[in-house]
Amino acid sequence: MLFMIKYGKEDHLKQIVNGLIRFAPSQIYIQMEEVLNIKGQGDRLNGKMKVKVLNAKLYNTETSERKKIPNCTLTMAFQNVGDIPIFCISHYGSEDTKKFLNIKSYTILLSPIKLETIKKDFTEATHALIILEPEKFIAGVQNIKGHQIISDEVNYFNYDVNLLQMYMFLSSSSTEIMDTKTLSLNYNDRHRLLLCKDLAFAYQQEYRFIILEELIEEPVFYNFNFASDYILLPVDELRREIEVFI
């Protein structure tokens, strides 16, 4: 990871630089698509998973009755996942740079297709905050006083099929095949659903911060130490090459 970009309105991005970061309940992104019809930044499957059910039966634990159900696709989620606070940002690496010019600089150059898709999804974003020292930024957010915060890159899966790799990640935080016939996801690990998204969103290259011990219903601002070098510019300026000195 060479750099991160947060897309948004200029005044909101300046708040981050000034050490004020906004976490939102994950259900906000569901509402963006379901209520506001904003798909891209909005995602009706945020914090949820789809399971294709074929030749299945429901088991009644009280009567031991097994009842066949029609083939279908189930949308599943854990209780309270929608109230978990998250902060989202995009991360970029060598594939999003033109080349290293010398040992002290490199050039940021997002592909036109990627940039246009970002602008389409983040319709209200006028500016881009380029964070040039991701490690310092991540450490600053994770060290917000009084909170347990984890962060990681989002994993992208094809939600139209039942992928064992996704189930493995949800049950064990790994996509490596284990020698077991039983996979389980418990309530304490439900936040892993927020690190999975449909493959259709892969171009966003999302990185998420998740607060584990708190549930919220409205966005909350937290003070943190913003220590990274950065560039704040209008989104359209990402069309040109941006040289970064290191």
Q: What is the pLDDT confidence band of residue 185, given thresholds at 50, 70 and 90?
A: confident
Q: Give the pLDDT score at 69.
A: 82
Q: Give the pLDDT score at 38.
A: 59
Q: Give the pLDDT score at 98.
A: 78
Give long-range contacts, CB 8 A cutoff, 24+ apart: 134-142.
Answer: 134/1, 134/2, 134/3, 134/4, 134/91, 134/228, 136/227, 136/228, 137/4, 137/226, 137/227, 137/228, 139/227, 140/224, 140/225, 140/226, 140/227, 140/228, 141/21, 141/87, 141/209, 141/224, 142/209
Q: What is the pTM of this model?
A: 0.86
At residue 174, does pLDDT exceed 70? no
Q: Which of the two residues, 68 and 172, has the higher pLDDT score? A: 68
At residue 183, does pLDDT exceed 80? no
Q: Give the pLDDT score at 10.
A: 97
pLDDT in tens, 86-104: 999 999 998 998 776 667 7
Q: Give the pLDDT score at 89.
A: 97
Tell me the pairing of strands 242-245 and 105-108: antiparallel
Taking residues 34-55, what's their average pLDDT?
73
At residue 175, does pLDDT exceed 80? no
At residue 240, does pLDDT exceed 70? yes
- Among 71-80, 81-90, 98-107, the least confident range: 98-107
The beta-strand segments (E) located in the chain are 3-8, 20-25, 49-53, 57-59, 66-68, 72-76, 85-92, 97-102, 105-108, 127-131, 149-153, 155-157, 196-198, 206-211, 220-223, 230-234, 242-245
pLDDT in tens, 197-235: 988 889 999 999 999 999 999 999 999 999 999 999 999
Where in the chain are the domains?
Answer: 3-48+78-245
Q: Which of the two residues, 241 and 183, has the higher pLDDT score? A: 241
Q: Which of the two residues, 181 and 245, has the higher pLDDT score? A: 245
Q: Give the pLDDT score at 93.
A: 92
Q: Which of the two residues, 159 and 3, has the higher pLDDT score? A: 3
Q: Give the pLDDT score at 2.
A: 92
At residue 83, does pLDDT exceed 90? yes
Taking residues 27-51, what's their average pLDDT?
74
